[in-house]
Structure 1
């Protein structure tokens, strides 16, 4: 009898590496990766099936999931995937989750397992952008209609973890530590071994483990406690004292500088530290907590004998990928826009094509041709700035225009460039996204001209749609009053 196939999105990271290695005896594991370096340097002894998957392409995701039974979803988009990325990590996470939700549904998967984060104890408290984004991902995956198991984990502690590496480097490098107020927030870190136990218990059991489950270790502690225990395991005794005057903004900068971590990674993590994050009792947590690994044990196993954090398994791959990203000159621009009631992605595209020439009326015209082409041209030039073609196979919820030419596009370097509109959250929003676009202008000139204009235009289009939403709300309110 053949083994069930489990696909892992985010298979090369800290958590993904641990999960894929732990499942090899029970499942056929398919690792999904966009890394050209990973695919071009295969390990003949690696039992994992590595498959190319561009997570930003719905068709690529659906193709990569064909023939699989389960999906483990681990993607978080705090690391840039293009040389220029114009987007918040929340909007990128939302788009990626929708791609995988729709791809999993089309491929007929039996279960999606998502590893997210604990939510604040007080439901009335406004969650940080990082935690809110993880909750949105959970909602989007559940909207697929497939059985979804969401593991809401505390800080995952293990060799190579990004959050733990930041903590270890802070303690290792600072003999004196002024502690901001967030260091008194309570949390419940969980060892990577216990996350693996949870995955094994839930995977393949969508009937018993459908829904959201908090996962935490045996230690309820503050971030100050975590720093103190980490220092003890290093054999250090730093002087720690309360310093409540430090704002979150200052905290982000000094944490980034001292830990040698990017602001893109540190900023959303520090924002989340102001919350108390405790695992609520549930059937899965109750099975794990009695034998769970302590924070002291797991942090000790995550450092070498000199107190340095053990390397993230993706570190070498990350360096090669970043070099390739710099060389490829690709652009990604993603914006979440309000969608008027009763409208869809096809309408949003048509409205954009209608609105843009009016907004830039003295300069721009838009020609819609019978062969499904859309040309954006300067009024005094016959050659289009951009030549786009409406892709067949789309629907009212996802509409794609492929960039096939124009003065501003280098389609020989990147024939995959496209503009797409995707409806999410049952029509509450539409995501407008440019993917894999390669500009023909020199990079510095593009960055300071065309890229800036695009953001300006999309911001104006967002305001235009917001006014339409408000007008629709007024009409509905007046209609209700008239009916009364």
Structure 2
């Protein structure tokens, strides 16, 4: 199970452990956790294909609960949809290599009458991840849910904070969009029931509760569940793009998470009968009941939690994160006809040699080591070592093995990866776990910006070749 330390994962783990041996994957592994029966925690960073392969070793079934909306490094230069496709590709490759029998994936309801290119970024990404997971031969069962109602997570807590904090709300047109809410326990039921069901292999199943409501109705019922009187004022001219700004401000939700979710509110997300399956996702808990349960459970957790201890733990985790000045930069480019990821990597290094003119030179030796130098200097700025063992036509991997721009004070796994998106002419170019040698402030506003400019220029170069 990926995302085992997350909101859905923690709850699902409690369901599965009594009758299955669970490999629980998270970036931190089981550090600081008490031993749990039938649960084996493994540290796994899915941005690393090697980690993914080790994490899935011995698994019969795999549950994919990953979404990369929030930054994953001290400096993240990437769109969430590009990180999502990279993570899904690594996971699917690892599942195929380990002989996994089925991947169960929790996604969002896709409106059937909206072309993929017109979907919101969030839903378009969910659909792309679904396709990538199925690209390496492992059968995928996708459960598509609307708004999941529980004490944590993403969408419902935003709704809850709005009602708590605003005595009156201006309701734009999108609050009349209908969506299919489903209670968290029924999502867990559906995920559990889907595991091992061969009749659900290679299928996408819509799941939902008994209520299909507008966001206005959900806001009103949430206010009733809280015992609060709220005034709702319709306002037809308030766009979803303006809404995402004030929703993020009012609720305190990071914009990286709030913006994509709120942009999806323009789409009706209603489970379709033709997308259903017997015994899966036929929820009976009403939205009002689910909201009351979530509010009660949230209160119980707050009372049982040691506030000071939790604050200290969060501070320690933040300090641990900040102590590593790592960089993740992920960009997507379109490839000319006939060019794969391996060829794109070679093209990039040759292009860099020409584009930088006489100032920057890229030297290549017989050991497949590329050294990027400033003209007239022997010491390289960066040294990249090509990994033939970990590369293929659809993936090229270079380890960052030296150079004055790379910090060698800490052991790290800096690498440059070119990954072709399955069944497409697109390629993900990613720098992972890079530790710069420059002071952080100087790096952030010089070298990091230059890298983005270089990637933009390379994208433009490829675009000209396509024409």
How high is the TM-score relative to the length of structure 2? 0.94
Q: Which residue number in structure 1 is paired with residue 90 of structure 2?
A: 99
Is it true that 1:12 corresponds to 2:8 in the alignment?
A: no
Instruction: Figure out how many residues of one structure are paired with residues of the other and give that number.
Output: 460
Q: Which residue number in structure 2 is paired with residue 59 of structure 1?
A: 50
Report the Cα offset of residue 416 of structure 1: 0.4
Please, which moves more after superposition, 423-432 or 221-230? 423-432
Is it true that 1:326 corresponds to 2:322 in the alignment?
A: yes
Of 381, 386, 397, 1:385 maps to 381
Q: Which residue number in structure 2 is paired with residue 406 of structure 1?
A: 403
Please, which moves more after superposition, 408-417 or 22-31? 408-417
Report the Cα offset of residue 451 of structure 1: 0.2
Is it true that 1:336 corresponds to 2:298 in the alignment?
A: no
| Contact kept? 1:218, 1:289, Cα under 8 Å | no
| Contact kept? 2:182, 2:283, Cα under 8 Å | no
| Contact kept? 1:421, 1:432, Cα under 8 Å | yes
Report the Cα offset of residue 67 of structure 1: 0.6
Report the Cα offset of residue 102 of structure 1: 0.4
Task: Sort the Cα spacing of 1:307 and 1:168 in 2 relative to 1 into closer, same or farther, 3 A.
Answer: farther
* Distance (Å, rounded) in 1 between the aligned partners of 2:314 and 2:159: 21
| Contact kept? 2:7, 2:152, Cα under 8 Å | yes
Matched residue of 2:119: which SS?
A: coil
| Contact kept? 1:404, 1:415, Cα under 8 Å | no
Report the Cα offset of residue 424 of structure 1: 1.4
Q: Which residue number in structure 1 is paired with residue 456 of structure 2?
A: 459
| Contact kept? 1:160, 1:310, Cα under 8 Å | no
* Distance (Å, rounded) in 2 between the aligned partners of 1:263 and 1:46: 38
Q: Which residue number in structure 1 is paired with residue 161 of structure 2?
A: 169
Task: Sort the Cα spacing of 1:19 and 1:282 in 2 relative to 1 into closer, same or farther, 3 A.
Answer: farther
Give the alignment's Cα RMSD to 1 decimal: 2.2
Please, which moves more after superposition, 206-215 or 84-93? 206-215
Q: Which residue number in structure 2 is paired with residue 3 of structure 1?
A: none
Please, which moves more after superposition, 223-232 or 25-34? 25-34
Query: What does 1:351-366 align with in structure 2 at a 5 Å threshold?
Result: 351-366=347-362
Is it true that 1:246 corresponds to 2:242 in the alignment?
A: no
Of 429, 445, 462, 2:442 maps to 445
Report the Cα offset of residue 283 of structure 1: 6.9
Unpaired runs of 5+ in structure 1? 1-7, 471-484
Unpaired runs of 5+ in structure 2? none
| Contact kept? 1:121, 1:278, Cα under 8 Å | no
Matched residue of 2:419: which SS?
A: strand
| Contact kept? 1:303, 1:309, Cα under 8 Å | no
Query: What does 1:38-187 align with in structure 2 at a 5 Å threshold?
Result: 39-45=30-36, 47-124=38-115, 126-187=118-179
Encode CA deviations 1:242-287: one digit per residue, 9 max, x unaligned: 0222222321121111111111110001100011111011474554
Encode CA deviations 1:62-101: one digit per residue, 9 max, x unaligned: 1110111011001000111100001000000000000001
Please, which moves more after superposition, 335-344 or 232-241? 335-344
Of 410, 432, 437, 1:435 maps to 432
* Distance (Å, rounded) in 1 between the aligned partners of 2:232 and 2:300: 20
Report the Cα offset of residue 429 of structure 1: 1.1
| Contact kept? 1:346, 1:397, Cα under 8 Å | yes
Matched residue of 2:399: which SS?
A: strand
Please, which moves more after superposition, 88-97 or 198-207? 198-207
Report the Cα offset of residue 290 of structure 1: 5.6
How high is the TM-score relative to the length of structure 1? 0.91
Is it true that 1:277 corresponds to 2:269 in the alignment?
A: yes
* Distance (Å, rounded) in 1 between the aligned partners of 2:95 and 2:53: 7
